[in-house]
Amino acid sequence: MAGARVLPPVTELNRAYWTGGRDGRLLIQRCATCARWAHPPRAECAVCGGALAPQPVSGDATVYSFTVNHHRFNPSVPVPYVVALVELVEQEGLRLPTNIVGCEPAEVRIGMAVHVAFEDHGAVWVPVFLPVGG
Ligand code: ZN
């Protein structure tokens, strides 16, 4: 069961990202013209100006950077928790801000292999990442 969290505003642009987890899919925008992936969601491809559409990715990633938050910014969100930037295996530089869950914060390492999971918050399914084979 998902813990408390501050949920993101869902827009037309980011709706696929925040709701794909309902079907177990991490949906990232991909350019129909040059096949580059793009995140965060935007109106058109930054490389060629082509149209972007959400496509499923594998959910495999590595930890690019992270920090352990010990400060209780929101009284309903328990601390400590890991705020990380993970890089998806599909493309160099394709990085998502997320949380690493399923392990102690002290166990998280840069370069660690992780895989997506989803926290069900009703209208929003928040992509989080767990260690692989830990
Ligand atoms: Zn493009």
- Mean pLDDT by groups of 10 residues along the chain of 134 residues: 76 95 97 96 95 97 97 86 97 97 96 97 95 82
Distance from Cα 68 to the centre of ligand 1, integer Å: 35
- H helix intervals, the chain: 15-19
Distance from Cα 43 to the centre of ligand 1, integer Å: 11
Position 75 scores a pLDDT of 84
Distance from Cα 19 to the centre of ligand 1, integer Å: 24
Position 74 scores a pLDDT of 84
Q: How far apart are CA 55 and CA 85, in angstroms?
A: 20
The C-alpha angle with vertex 33 and arms to 31 and 39, in degrees rounded to 5, equals: 15
Backbone φ, ψ for residue 83 (5° rounding): -100, 125
3-state helix, strand, coil in the chain (%, to 5): 10, 40, 50
Distance from Cα 133 to the centre of ligand 1, integer Å: 35
Position 84 scores a pLDDT of 97
- For tokens 């590595």, the residue is 62
